[in-house]
Amino acid sequence: MFGSQDGRDGYDFIEWLAVQHWCNGKVGMFGNSGVAMVQYRIAAEQPPHLACIAPWEGTGDLYREALYQGGVPALRFTSFIGNSLVGSGYIDDTVAMAVKYPFMNGYWEDKIPKWEKIKIPAYFTGSWSHMHLRGAFEGFRKIRSPKKWMRVHRDFEWPDTYTPANLEDLKRFYDRYLKDIRNGWELTPRVRMDVMDAYDCDFQVARGEKEFPLARTQYKKLYVNAGNNALSYEPATTESSTSYDAQTGRTTFTYRFNETTEISGYMWLRLWVEAQGNSEMDLFINIRKLGEDGEWLATDVLGEPHPGGWGWMRVSRRELDPKLTTKYQPVQAHKGEQKLKPGEIVPVDVELYPHSRIWHKGQQLEIQITGYYAREGWFEPFSWETDNKGSHVIHSGGKHDSYLQIPVIPPRYKAGEYVYR
């Protein structure tokens, strides 16, 4: 299930299709969710007659993005998917394997797409609001094709996929690479991104960019001050801490922007943490937008408020993989665990999924930290097997340099009061 065997089976099927009398010898693939995920594996096997792929919204690393999110076990949703979609034939039980093998090994590495082996034209999509987002950008960034495009939006995957204008766009991509029709597809911006604002309003729609992360990104740090639950561009010099009930509580830290600011890209949260009454901590992070008066300005997805930019962290899994970690994206190793000792304060680096949003002057950015998933009313049955007891303590100031690294995108052009983004 979503391993190299899927790729080999797909190779055989593509090559069978290519020699049928009704086929011109060029085969393309399209689909979202699981039907996007298998495209990664098949394209990595490099079937000679596979001409292009269109993976719209697909998880990449099954272990990190589905079963152990930030190291927190999230097995029930995958069990639900497996029981709902597979037939009566043989399939490996990834949930049972996750229980038996909770750390990264060869079985899980086989389920990470071999991005570097994908060299054909590819049209990706991603949603700023959906679980497939990380995998979509991993694929777009890491495949070796010189012909690759990304369109990233606010909406849920299904209505976006079946919007007539988007299907017409896909047809142009197919016409170019399956029928050799010179239709100017190459003039399409490599990245088209919606910059979200509030509710169902986007600040910009399908803004053209050349790459992702954006080359003009300015990474800045908002430092945590646990003494007053605030954020500042200046590090706190005095050590302080704040705590909350590990099972039912939460804490927040806010920053009010004195100028309109766009945040688009990868955020990185560094926290110094301590567990009181337990040797483990499971953290759930949301990056929310508040109005001038503190009102939560959610974005709407299928009519439901979305909690914002997000990430998870099981503190015993805090070790990073130095080969996968970049200056903007910490990636956990998942090779073992380091339980906390009483009174021990440790740094954790939380990978937050990519995000794109505008904060207008006077609006506030809020880091929300809880021991549970702070979302209600959503139809997908997400759940996590947390190990939270006692209290969580967040430390800041002095040697405890807790901060949120944000990707600030400067305007392309500014003249007086005129701003072009």
Which burial class, exposed, middle or buried, applies to 153 when counting CB atoms under 10 A from its CB (0-12, 13-18, 19+)? buried
Can you give the pLDDT at residue 234?
Answer: 97
Decide which of 190, 208, 226 is a domain's last residue.
Answer: 208
CA distances from 390 to 91, 97, 244, 278, 313 (A): 40, 30, 9, 6, 17
CA distance 55 to 217: 26
Decide which of 161, 190, 208 is a domain's last residue.
Answer: 208
Nearest in space to 225 (alpha carbons), one of 241, 208, 201, 244: 241
Q: Domain check: are 226 and 202 in the same one?
A: no
Can you give the pLDDT at residue 377?
Answer: 77
420 within a domain of the structure (yes/no): no
413 within a domain of the structure (yes/no): no
The domain spanning residue 118 has which CATH number? 3.40.50.1820
Residues of the domain holding 297:
218-408
Can you give the pLDDT at residue 45?
Answer: 98
CB 319 within 8 A of CB 333: yes
Q: Domain check: are 191 and 242 in the same one?
A: no
Q: Domain check: are 92 and 120 in the same one?
A: yes
31 within a domain of the structure (yes/no): yes
349 within a domain of the structure (yes/no): yes
414 within a domain of the structure (yes/no): no
Can you give the pLDDT at residue 52?
Answer: 98
Q: Domain check: are 291 and 350 in the same one?
A: yes
Residues 348-395 pLDDT 10s: 999 999 999 999 999 999 999 999 998 877 888 889 999 999 999 999
Give pTM, 2 decimals: 0.96
Phi, psi of 213 (to 5 degrees): -60, 155
Find residue 32's DSSP bridge partners.
Answer: 56
Can you give the pLDDT at residue 1?
Answer: 85
Q: Domain check: are 167 and 269 in the same one?
A: no
Q: Domain check: are 276 and 158 in the same one?
A: no
418 within a domain of the structure (yes/no): no
Q: Domain check: are 271 and 310 in the same one?
A: yes
CA distance 115 to 335: 22
CA distance 281 to 389: 8
Cβ partners under 8 Å of residue 9, min gap 6: none
Pairing outcome for strands 27-32 and 50-56: parallel
Nearest in space to 341 (alpha carbons), one of 277, 391, 259, 412: 277
Average pLDDT, the chain: 96
Q: Domain check: are 276 and 338 in the same one?
A: yes
Beta-strand ranges (E) seen in 64-109 are 68-69, 72-73
Domain count, the chain: 2
CA distance 348 to 312: 11
Q: Domain check: are 180 and 120 in the same one?
A: yes
CA distance 365 to 254: 5
Residues 220-233 pLDDT 10s: 999 999 999 999 99
Q: Domain check: are 352 and 387 in the same one?
A: yes
The domain spanning residue 230 has which CATH number? 2.60.120.260
Q: Domain check: are 171 and 125 in the same one?
A: yes
157 within a domain of the structure (yes/no): yes
Q: Domain check: are 312 and 198 in the same one?
A: no
417 within a domain of the structure (yes/no): no
pLDDT lower than 70: segments of the chain: none
Decide which of 188, 208, 228 is a domain's last residue.
Answer: 208
CA distances from 92 to 36, 38, 96 (A): 19, 15, 9
